[in-house]
Amino acid sequence: MVEKLRTMNAIASIRKIIADRLQYEIKRRGLNSSASLGVPKDVLNGYLRGTQEIKFSELTAICNQLGINPVRLIYSQDYPKLNIVYRNAQRPVQKTVSMLEDVFLLIEPILPSIEIPQYDHVDNNKYSSIKDIISEAAVYASKVREKHPSPEDFISDHSIPLFPVKSNDKFDAFVITKDNHAVICINMNNAPQRIRFSLAHEICHLLFDRQREIAVDVFLPELYWKDKFKSDEVPELFAYKFAEFYLVPYKEVYLLTLKWPDLDLSKCEEIINNYKISKDVLANAIRDILLCSDKSVNFQEIKSILQPLNNSKDANSIFLFLEEARKELSLLIDSHSFKYSDKILNFIKEVLQFDV
């Protein structure tokens, strides 16, 4: 009888663990128990309540729909709760991101430890206006620029590993962190100017948010141009403004705006080329500085003035930077290949798009 009770308690404990892990994975994907996840809804609800008899085939079906590893979900003793959430990501993106998470967990022990400043979290209740966010983001961006003039410099100076992948899924970039390890995943199937903006954006998350949830970065223009915002939108909005003024110095753009609306197009072109940015980044920076000067100007109006100019072609150098990062990562994995089975090694290289 005692042995039977122990067995029942052990089964109940396992069911509770699986329920907690499924609830965590479903929550960070913005789903709920009514989602279609490969099994009947009553079966899914049973797993989420911890009352369902465990069947590997059912759990595998659920995990496949979520894009997570069923072996890790069921058998991992220390289930890793990483910082990524999928609020804006479509289902194919979630599966791609999940595979990159798996690779990160597999190679995390061999990644270099990162030592970068940890700034206080962006307090959701601190900012009462968009002007506050713009001003403080510009101040922090200027501080970082003084030591690391570009996102590439920051990444190199702090030896932050990159996962550069070419994906047709709609995402720009995201950060994965665990303890003192981190990696920036970046989609190379975007324009070079957008890639550099995404790197700057993720650097902001590393500095401010690496101990809390970070959304997979899918550009949301409706958020970028908001003058009014919800408190839970502040960290992402702050990261947009930080990236903007990390790429292009606040002071230089401020001097441009002194003659608004008679912008010096030759100076605008010089800024675009010097800082390897797009016209849109400069237009947004101009808009934000005018906004802080109580001059409400439509983004499209500024963009039309900059229309004769071109995006920086020098931004293409980011692809060489990313390829070098890919080579470094490949060499690191190869030097530790004895730690992995052929099957695991092939999985890592396939996900990271190395030659298998």
Q: What pLDDT does 212 receive?
A: 77
Rounded to an integer, what distance in angstroms lies between the CA atom of residue 114 and that of residue 262?
45
Terminal-residue alpha carbon distance, the chain: 54
Closest CA relative to residue 229, chosen from 128, 86, 85, 89: 128
Judge if 53 and 146 occupy the same domain: no
Q: What is the predicted pLDDT for the residue at 84?
A: 81
- pLDDT for 54: 87
Q: Please give the model's pTM, rounded to 2 decimal places.
A: 0.89
Report the DSSP pairing between strands 214-215 and 162-165.
unpaired
> How confident is the model over 91-116, as pLDDT tens digits?
778 888 888 999 999 999 999 998 88
Instruction: Write down the residue that tokens 């970065």 correspond to.
Output: 217
Averaged over 192-214, what is the pLDDT? Answer: 91
168 lies in a domain? no
Q: Which pLDDT does position 3 carry in this prediction?
A: 59
* Residue 252 falls inside a structural domain: yes
Give per-residue pLDDT as tens, 246-268.
Answer: 999 999 999 999 999 999 999 99
Q: Do 138 and 255 share a domain, yes or no? A: yes
Say if residue 135 is in the same domain as residue 261. Answer: yes
**Domain total in the chain:** 2
Q: Residue 304: inside a domain, yes or no? A: yes
pLDDT of residue 110: 96
- Residues 6 or more apart whose CB falls under 8 angstroms from that of 170 comprise 89, 90, 93, 218
Q: What share of residues in the chain are helix, strand, coil (percent, to 5)?
A: 60, 5, 35
Same domain, 192 and 304: yes
Residues 42 and 134 in one domain: no
pLDDT digits (tens, 9 = 90+) for 227-238: 778 777 888 899
Do the Cβ atoms of 119 and 208 come closer than 8 Å?
yes
Q: Which residues in 236-255 are b (16+ Cβ under 10 Å) and which e?
A: bbbbbbbbbbbbbbbeebbe
Residues 274 and 203 in one domain: yes
- What is the arithmetic mean of pLDDT over 12-26? 89
DSSP letter (8 states) at residue 261: T
Query: By residue range, what is the domain housing residue 284?
Result: 130-150+188-313
pLDDT at 2: 47
Q: Is 335 a domain residue?
A: no
Residue 274 belongs to some domain of the structure: yes
pLDDT over 90, % of the chain: 59
The answer to whether residues 20 and 135 belong to one domain is no
Does residue 213 share a domain with residue 71?
Answer: no
Same domain flag for 304 and 212:
yes
| Distance between CA atoms of residues 229 and 238, nearest Å | 11
Q: Is residue 30 part of a domain?
A: yes
Residue at 74 is within a domain: yes
Higher pLDDT, 38 or 334: 334
- What is the rounded CA–CA span in Å between residue 320 and residue 164? 11
Last residue of a domain, which of 298, 313, 328?
Answer: 313
pLDDT recorded at residue 124:
63
Q: What is the mean pLDDT of residues 189-202?
A: 96
Mind listing the pLDDT tens digit for each residue in 44-103? Answer: 999 999 998 888 899 999 988 888 888 888 887 788 878 888 766 677 788 888 889 999
Shared domain check, 281 and 135: yes
CB 260 within 8 A of CB 250: no
Which domain CATH number covers 15? 1.10.260.40
The mean pLDDT of the chain is: 89
Tell me, yes or no, whether 95 lies in a domain. no
293-331 pLDDT tens trace: 988 788 999 999 999 999 999 999 999 999 999 999 999
Whole-Å CA distances, 93 to 97, 202, 223:
6, 17, 20
pLDDT of residue 27: 87
Does 134 share its domain with 23? Answer: no
Of 313, 331, 347, the one marking the end of a domain is 313
Q: d(Cα 214, Cα 87) in Å, to the nearest integer?
A: 9
Same domain, 194 and 302: yes
